[in-house]
Amino acid sequence: MKGCQPVIAVKGLANRFGEAVIHEDLDLTVCRGEILGVVGGSGTGKSVLMRSIIGLQTPAAGEIEVLGENMIGREEDEAKNIRRRWGILFQNGALFSTLTVAENVEVPIREYFPYLKPPLLDEIASYKIAMGGLPADAGPKYPAELSGGMIKRAGLARALALDPELLFLDEPTAGLDPISAAAFDELIVSLQKRLDLTVFLITHDLDTLYAICDRVAVIADRKVIAVGTIPELLALDHPWIQEYFNGPRGRAAADTAKEHAQA
């Protein structure tokens, strides 16, 4: 991408579990300010890639830089300083079930700013809950009292708790109805613009790819086989890419995106 300032730079990444080789010589660059979609068939290693980037999975080989910092082999206190610069929304929201939404949002704030007093913590949590697009009365609720869409929004509010520069989203619209999914997509775009975020977004949702991603990285054959805009990807004749974007679901998503552009 022209003028790309790399926020994530992965080079020669290899991941293996026993005999199973998940990644081999995988390269990927995510540029500042973009929403990069990551797609690939089930089990191609999208989550393992994200886990490697955020330091939850030690790769067998390769280099990973995030926000200009080498991520491999860092001491815990150094890694902690880098971690506070990003937010993560895990696939199922990963909220603590025994804590309210507000308390969940406060977890990372308490970790990094243990001296903050409850009134200020509550104020910050309310602000983040509103940023996640939840009503104020969601704060005292427990995750079990929330709908799937609200859980994602609460997870997003927590991911935004420390004013991140970079956001990782693992299948944020999975399990949402199409209207809630579209609303969540809009929220991501508006947050990305307002907060000048870089977004690494794993998804199977073709509507999301068309609606909000600047570029899409395709994982197949253990590596990133292509990165580009959807028109750029459509010009490639890789069978998975063609089937994915030109299959019935891909064409329907393209039509929906066209209708939105004309409306």
User: Torsion angle, CA of 172/177/183/189, rounded to 10 degrees?
Assistant: 30
The beta strand positions in 98-197, using DSSP E, are 166-170
With contact defined as beta carbons under 8 Å apart, do 35 and 189 qualify?
Answer: yes
Nearer to ligand ATP, 45 or 132 (CB): 45
With contact defined as beta carbons under 8 Å apart, do 187 and 199 qualify?
Answer: no
Sole binder of ligand ATP in the list 3, 19, 42, 231 (CB under 6 A): 42
- Does the protein bind ligand ATP through residue 209 (CB under 6 A)? no
Nearer to ligand ATP, 141 or 238 (CB): 238
Nearer to ligand ATP, 43 or 247 (CB): 43
Sole binder of ligand ATP in the list 26, 31, 35, 48 (CB under 6 A): 48
- Which conformational region is residue 85 in: left (phi greater than 0), alpha (psi within -120 to 50 degrees), or beta? alpha
Q: Tell me the backbone φ, ψ of residue 220, rounded to 5 degrees.
A: -160, 160
With contact defined as beta carbons under 8 Å apart, do 208 and 185 qualify?
Answer: yes
121 membership: H or E segment, kind and range: helix 118-131
Nearer to ligand ATP, 44 or 198 (CB): 44
Binding window for ligand ATP (CB under 6 A); candidates: 41-49, 80-88, 225-233, 246-254: 41-49
- Does the protein bind ligand ATP through residue 223 (CB under 6 A)? no
Q: Pairing mode, if any, of strands 166-170 and 6-17? A: unpaired
Nearer to ligand ATP, 100 or 203 (CB): 203
Sole binder of ligand ATP in the list 8, 22, 166, 209 (CB under 6 A): 22
Please, what is the minimum distance in Å from the beta carbon of residue 252 to ligand ATP? 20
Residues at the interface with ligand ATP (CB under 6 A): 17, 22, 40, 42-48
